[in-house]
């Protein structure tokens, strides 16, 4: 007795087609059908191999997700010639999209997987930025794509998160006179390290606002000009020692600074 077989054919991985076939198969006595996946078909020869196999079994079906037009046409023609039932799982919906939305499909295989990979790269970068925020673990400096250094309130964390959404792994390190910078900071390539500076007046304004938001007195040492000048002077010395490019963030939005950072990484220029 011939076994019921569904040949899943795809010009990509074929996961979508296999999932659909399994969902349908469960509606027929628990889905005992034999599913055989044929992934990454690239030419007529690949399709011909499946046609030969399917033609040898009267209880076989071909279910396919092929978006490359000439491959789809070839499979349809050969299946018809051999009397094989071939089911296109994508084309009916693609046609509906074309008619209703007035758009043309790309006819490019693997786009779904590419989107998935991009998504997971972004999630990985965001998790990295959280884990290595504010100098929590110096090991992140070596593993990062970008290292941001600067005194407190120079937008290191917002910048890290913004760049993470663009799939860059970012670590940031606060520069504080009382805390020796981690050794890793002086071992990484200066091209991926960015120093962030800010004017004393602007930093004073930001820190006072921060203290007010926390319900603390604006006269605290954290916002005093003397302390700010001390921190900025210390930060400048560290940045010179690292030899990294420096960006003045005084009057820049996060998006603007991020754009400058990416330009720096690509060109290797220095900017202030």
pLDDT in tens, 192-221: 999 999 999 999 999 998 888 888 876 688
Q: Was 152 annotated as part of a binding site?
A: yes
CB 6 within 8 A of CB 60: yes
Residue 111 pLDDT level (bands cut at 50, 70, 90): low
Spatial distance between the Cα atoms of 198 and 92, rounded to a whole number of angstroms: 58
The pTM for the full model equals 0.62
- 26 marked among binding-site residues: no
Q: What is the pLDDT confidence band of residue 98, given thresholds at 50, 70 and 90?
A: confident
3-state secondary structure of 87: strand
Q: What topology does CATH give the domain 118-267?
A: Rossmann fold (3.40.50)
Domain 5-109 adopts which CATH fold? Rossmann fold (3.40.50)
195 is in an annotated binding site: no
Query: Is residue 153 marked as binding?
Result: yes
Q: Measure the CA–CA gap between 76 and 87, rounded to whole angstroms.
A: 9
- The first and second tokens of residue 265, run together, are 């990484």
Q: For the chain, give every domain's residue range.
A: 5-109, 118-267
Whether residue 150 is annotated as binding a ligand: the answer is: yes
Q: Is 241 annotated as a binding residue?
A: no
**pLDDT score of 109:** 72
Q: Around Cβ 140, how many Cβ atoms within 10 Å? A: 22
Helix count and strand count (H, E) for the chain: 10, 8
The two domains 5-109 and 118-267 share their CATH topology (first three levels equal): yes
């Amino acid at each position: 007795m011939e076994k019921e077989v569904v040949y899943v054919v795809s010009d990509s991985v074929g996961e979508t087609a296999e999932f659909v076939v399994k969902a349908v198969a469960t509606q027929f006595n628990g889905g005992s059908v034999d599913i055989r996946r044929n992934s990454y078909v690239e030419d007529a020869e690949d399709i011909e191999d499946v046609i030969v196999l399917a033609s040898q079994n009267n209880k076989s079906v071909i279910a396919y997700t092929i978006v490359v037009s000439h491959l789809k046409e070839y499979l349809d023609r050969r299946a018809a010639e051999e009397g094989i039932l071939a089911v296109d799982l994508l084309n009916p919906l693609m046609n509906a999209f074309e008619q209703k939305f007035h758009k043309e499909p790309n006819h490019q295989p693997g786009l779904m997987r590419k989107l998935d990979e991009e998504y997971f790269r972004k999630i990985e970068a965001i998790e990295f930025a959280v884990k290595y925020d504010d100098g929590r673990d110096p090991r992140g400096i070596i593993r990062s794509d970008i290292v941001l250094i600067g005194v407190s309130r120079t937008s290191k964390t917002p910048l890290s998160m913004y760049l993470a959404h663009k799939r860059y792994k970012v670590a940031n390190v606060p520069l504080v006179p009382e805390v020796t910078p981690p050794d890793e900071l002086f071992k990484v390539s200066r091209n991926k390290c960015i120093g962030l500076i800010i004017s004393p007046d602007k930093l004073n304004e930001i820190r006072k606002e921060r203290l007010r938001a926390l319900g603390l007195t604006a006269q605290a040492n954290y916002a005093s000009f003397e302390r700010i000048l001390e921190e900025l002077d210390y930060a400048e010395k560290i940045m010179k020692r690292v030899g990294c490019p420096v960006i003045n963030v005084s009057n820049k939005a996060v998006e603007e600074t991020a754009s400058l950072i990416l330009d720096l990484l690509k060109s290797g220029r220095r900017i202030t």
